[in-house]
Structure 1
Amino acid sequence: MGPVSQQSTEPSAEPSTSASPTLLPSPPPAKRRISALPLWRLPTPGQARAAVPGLLLTALGVGVALLVNRMVPGVSALIVALVLGAVLTNVGLVPESLRPGLRAAVKTPMRAGIVLLGLSLALPDVLALGAPVLLVVLGGVAVTFLGTLLLGRLLGIARERRLLIATGVSICGASAVAAMNDSAEGDEDDVMTAVAIVTLFGTLAVLALPTLRTTLGLDSATFGIWTGASVHEVGQVVATAGAVGAAALAPAVIVKLTRVVLLAPLIVAVNLWQRRDRPIPAPREGHPPTPERARPPIVPLFVIGFLIAVGVGSAGVLPESVLGPVSVLQTVLLSAGLFAMGTGVRLGALATSSARSIALGALASLLILLVTYTGLMLAT
């Protein structure tokens, strides 16, 4: 891919050589990066004490999200957590004293939740779909991801944001957006926008697709495959296919989880692209490269953990008595990360900058529906 879009707000690292600095315009503000301590660096006692209030708020936010999900099962706890975090910070209920704990709650719980997601995947079920269906799923993900990046560039959307939107639409919604954010280096507004888009258009799919089934002449099984190959969130897939019946629901879930498997190679591919596009700069004497300019690892540790979890889940060695609590823990961890992300969002800036992003989300959602439908018609 080409260089970062001119829309990027990254401040230049080059010092000014102008003799009249007072005549220069003020530099744009730096993006609010989502950051946390590396997993291998233990906090000091002072850092641990400072993090406690923010972690307690995160736990409270997750509890509220789970309660809402229990009362209204069709509403994802992940989305509730993200929105709740954004609302609290924008009404002034998140003081700076809570920020250390919120920063600590962002990456580690999210990565752990994504690793646990792998336990729900069974490769034998995926392979049982057959080569034609697998090609439709793979083609839908590839065409949607690359097509969304291209459309976003034509619309003038910064690379970080269009990468998150492309991942959320082509793979698995909010979880994929959060997982890709390490490579995309998006800020909180980018994450919030991408999650809002997959929520909006995934919800529209829940309402629209069942009414189109008869018009398009799809039997229940084919409709389920189409739903799993095109709808964004796992919960949205269940709601859409469940409206038709069990004959649609079973293949829909298997196909959707097949798309989730593709998250790992997609992140590896993006990291390879980022390493090529962002060479390590020569550090000044005694000063290593900053994290923002260092190249990302080819395979992040949490991706390796995800693949190991897929292997364990495929082996079928874990009983349902274990998988049930693990599923709940996965939801808790992902909700914690998304709640903390939400507290960094400024809705005023988001509302004024998202019109083109919404247009991109609409085009990307339409693209994956058309590509997968066409593929299924050719394959059957």
Structure 2
Amino acid sequence: MPDTPNPAAADSAYPSPVPTAAPWWKNEDWLAVLAALPVLIAASKGIFPSETMLPVWFLVISGVALLASLGKKMVPFILGAVIVYALGWASQWIAAQPAVKAYGLEYVIFALGLGLIWSHTLPVPEWLREAVRTEFFIKVGIVLLGATILLPEMLKAGMPGLIQAALVIPVVWYACFFIAKKLKVDEEFGVMLSTAVSICGVSAAIAACGAIQGDRKKLSYVTSIVLLCAVPMMIFMPVVIKQMGLSEAVGGAWLGGTLDTSGSVAAATEQVGKDATKVGVIVKLSQNVLIGVAAFVLSVWWSMRGGANGERGKVSVKVIWERFPKFVIGFVLASVIFSYLVPAEVAAAASKPLKAVREAWFAAAFVCIGLETRLGELFSLGGGRPALAFLGGQVFNIAWTLVLALWLFGK
């Protein structure tokens, strides 16, 4: 990764906050792990919430995890969380309708849209703002995601996918970061954009933001553009695959390596064929596995270069630890435990129910992104240059991943 400071970083309209060591009960990374813990323990015993009980699990687990940090604000949080959950449930209901499902549009798009509609047409009172916990909700979802990534199965069936992920991530990351620098996008923004393009979209951007103590407005920008870009890719890439006469395996590997959310990969590959879905999901999961590695590398590199100001200095283990996104530890441990310590049949049976639970938190997170985003501010941020950097990185990603997919899966 490059280490030359970007002069534009000092002129950023949203400078990075100086990292401070908050007690663990106020650190959203640790609280996300704490919130995911009872769900994972229950799942290891084969216990899952019914559809009617899921909102209770969501409210109780989130409330208990945030209790110490919320204090007297617990009641407003619960009231706001009811609204957030309801909008998230509505987004999932809309996405499940046959007429919508036929287009492959997933719930995260509707969750973001409903949040934006509310924030632009209705007031967002203080009690609702207490429940706008975007990073907390999505970090809980990422920890839960770890339990569905079974490493032995991936190593057995997905070695080409792991090779593709290992070759895609560093090359695409650097290409997008290079484009961002040429467009005079500040490095903090460039890191989040590059990580989102090269790994797995929003989840990776959240991890990158935590690793570099990034700005929340920039993170909202990145998540929004990831989702906006995913829609046309999800619709048109399967058509291109068929027109090019690519095999299902190559098409699945291409989609899995370029689309930035697991849901969009599943929706797009289903339009190509069963083999495409199998390969695409493995490739995407292979990239997801490397979230932890990427977060660690970014936290070390960002600390060594002196943060957003690029002022080099002595880097201590303490500084790296403070910057490292702790929820990634929960993600890795969940994957290891469900891969090797939970009985194989229990871990396999838990995949689908855990997906439903995880999506409840993810839906809430994307509703929150909409609630805290003002489109006017979003479009003016960076003068459109970050969007161009993202699109440039995505074009390179599409071309490079196709080359690798043809090489690894073309036989």
**Which residue of structure 1 lines up, in the alignment, with residue 189 of structure 2?**
161
**Which residue of structure 1 lines up, in the alignment, with residue 178 of structure 2?**
150
Q: Which is further off, 358-367 or 70-79?
A: 70-79
* TM-score for the superposition, normalised by structure 2: 0.75
**Which residue of structure 2 lines up, in the alignment, with residue 91 of structure 1?**
121
Q: Which is further off, 241-250 or 320-329?
A: 320-329
1:314 paired with 2:339, answer yes
Distance 1:365 1:327 in 2: 27
Distance 1:199 1:106 in 2: 15
1:127 paired with 2:117, answer no
The Cα of 1:299 is off from its aligned counterpart by 4.2
| Identical-pair percentage | 25
Structure 1, gaps ≥5 residues long: 14-35, 280-293
**Which residue of structure 2 lines up, in the alignment, with residue 52 of structure 1?**
78
Tell me which amino acid in the other structure corresponds to 1:303: V
Three-state SS of the structure 2 residue aligned to 1:303 is helix
Given candidates 109, 118, 123, the residue that maps to 1:79 is 109
1:363 paired with 2:365, answer no
The Cα of 1:134 is off from its aligned counterpart by 3.0
Distance 1:177 1:113 in 2: 14
Three-state SS of the structure 2 residue aligned to 1:255 is helix
- CA 1:195–1:145 in structure 2 vs 1: closer, same or farther (change >3 Å)? same
2:253 touches 2:276 (CA, 8 Å); kept in 1?
A: yes
1:211 paired with 2:236, answer no
Tell me which amino acid in the other structure corresponds to 1:37: K
**Which residue of structure 1 lines up, in the alignment, with residue 304 of structure 2?**
276
**Which residue of structure 2 lines up, in the alignment, with residue 19 of structure 1?**
none
Structure 2, gaps ≥5 residues long: 18-24, 32-65, 308-318
1:237-276 equivalences in 2 (<5 Å): 237-276=265-304
- CA 1:184–1:78 in structure 2 vs 1: closer, same or farther (change >3 Å)? farther
**Which residue of structure 1 lines up, in the alignment, with residue 4 of structure 2?**
2
Bigger Cα Rg: 1
Distance 1:11 1:46 in 2: 31
Tell me which amino acid in the other structure corresponds to 1:2: T
Post-superposition CA distance 1:48-84 (Å, at most 9, x none):
2343332232222222222222223433223322332
Q: Which is further off, 367-376 or 194-203?
A: 194-203
RMSD: 2.9
* TM-score for the superposition, normalised by structure 1: 0.80
The Cα of 1:321 is off from its aligned counterpart by 4.6
Post-superposition CA distance 1:114-138 (Å, at most 9, x none):
0111122122333235655533221
Distance 1:43 1:299 in 2: 21
2:143 touches 2:330 (CA, 8 Å); kept in 1?
A: yes
Distance 1:227 1:303 in 2: 25
Tell me which amino acid in the other structure corresponds to 2:405: L
Distance 2:368 2:324 in 1: 25
- CA 1:87–1:372 in structure 2 vs 1: closer, same or farther (change >3 Å)? same
- CA 1:177–1:328 in structure 2 vs 1: closer, same or farther (change >3 Å)? same
Tell me which amino acid in the other structure corresponds to 1:355: G
Tell me which amino acid in the other structure corresponds to 2:12: S
Tell me which amino acid in the other structure corresponds to 2:333: I
**Which residue of structure 2 lines up, in the alignment, with residue 37 of structure 1?**
26
1:235 paired with 2:237, answer no
- CA 1:252–1:191 in structure 2 vs 1: closer, same or farther (change >3 Å)? same
Three-state SS of the structure 2 residue aligned to 1:121 is coil
Which has the larger helix fraction? 2
Distance 1:376 1:321 in 2: 30
Three-state SS of the structure 2 residue aligned to 1:47 is helix
Q: How many residues align?
A: 344
- CA 1:310–1:194 in structure 2 vs 1: closer, same or farther (change >3 Å)? same
Q: Which is further off, 164-173 or 47-56?
A: 47-56
1:7 touches 1:157 (CA, 8 Å); kept in 2?
A: no
Tell me which amino acid in the other structure corresponds to 1:88: W
1:78 touches 1:174 (CA, 8 Å); kept in 2?
A: no
